[in-house]
């Protein structure tokens, strides 16, 4: 199964941009890159996903490397409500494991006022 690697933690100040990296060197050609975040005592919530091209939505941007072996989630202006654990995951869409989702450890983002 394709794995992802993320830093254990990152810190940011409020109103500043945050770049959360994710390495996925064993990604397959049809895997989508998904980002989710989890607030304390809640289930993960969707942030953004993409395949090859950079993606933007109201929450964040996703920058995908040309070789797709890494990606970066960009929060343009961090707020205190963005403090969460951020997970980068790949959709395993091949063979008998179709649909299986594997989570890494995630990155704990701390936002300072």
Partner 1 sequence: DVKVTQSSRYLVKRTGEKVFLECVQDMDHENMFWYRQDPGLGLRLIYFSYDVKMKEKGDIPEGYSVSREKKERFSLILESASTNQTSMYLCASYRAERGNTIYFGEGSWLTVV
- Residues in touch with partner 1 (CB under 8 A): 30, 32, 34, 36, 41-46, 49, 51, 87, 91, 93, 96-106
Nearest approach in angstroms of CB 51 to partner 1 is: 6
Report the residue number, 96 or 113, with the smaller CB distance to partner 1: 96
Report the residue number, 13 or 57, with the smaller CB distance to partner 1: 57
One-letter-per-residue 3-state SS of the chain = CCCCECCCEEEEECCCCEEEEEECCCCCCCCCEEEEEECCCCCCEEEEEECCCCEECCCCEEEECCCCCEEEEEECCCCHHHCEEEEEEEECCCHHHCCCEECCCCEEEEEEC
Report the residue number, 18 or 90, with the smaller CB distance to partner 1: 90
Nearest approach in angstroms of CB 105 to partner 1 is: 5
């Amino acid at each position: 199964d394709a794995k992802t690697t993320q830093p254990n933690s990152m810190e940011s100040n409020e109103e500043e941009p945050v770049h959360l990296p994710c390495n996925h060197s064993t990604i397959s050609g049809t895997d989508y890159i998904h980002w989710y975040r989890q607030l304390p005592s809640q289930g993960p919530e969707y942030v953004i996903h993409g395949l090859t091209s950079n993606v933007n939505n109201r929450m964040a941007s996703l920058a995908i490397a040309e070789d797709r072996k890494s990606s970066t989630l960009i929060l343009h202006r961090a707020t205190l409500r963005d403090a969460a654990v951020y997970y980068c995951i790949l959709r395993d869409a091949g063979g008998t494991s179709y649909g299986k989702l594997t989570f890494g450890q995630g990155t704990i983002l701390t936002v300072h006022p």
